[in-house]
Amino acid sequence: MSTDPELQDILYLALQEPIGLVLVTNDPHRARQRLYRARTEIQDPALEILQIRMSPLGGSGSSAPGDLVICKRQEPAKAPQPVLPPVSLSDLGL
For the stretch 44-51, contacts whose Cβ atoms lie closer than 8 Å and that sit 24 or more positions apart, written own/partner, are 46/15, 47/11, 47/12, 47/15, 49/15, 49/73, 50/11, 50/14, 50/15, 50/20, 51/20
Classify residue 85: in a domain, yes or no. Answer: no
pTM recorded for the entire structure = 0.69
In a domain, 29, yes or no: yes
Q: What is the number of domains present in the chain?
A: 1
Question: Is position 67 within any domain?
Answer: yes
- Give the pLDDT confidence score for residue 84 in this predicted structure: 66
Structural domain containing residue 20: 5-72
- Average pLDDT, 10 consecutive residues per value, the chain (94 residues): 85 93 88 94 93 77 66 74 70 67
Q: Is residue 81 part of a domain?
A: no
Is 17 a member of any domain?
Answer: yes
Q: What is the pLDDT of residue 90?
A: 74
The verdict on residue 34 lying in a domain is yes
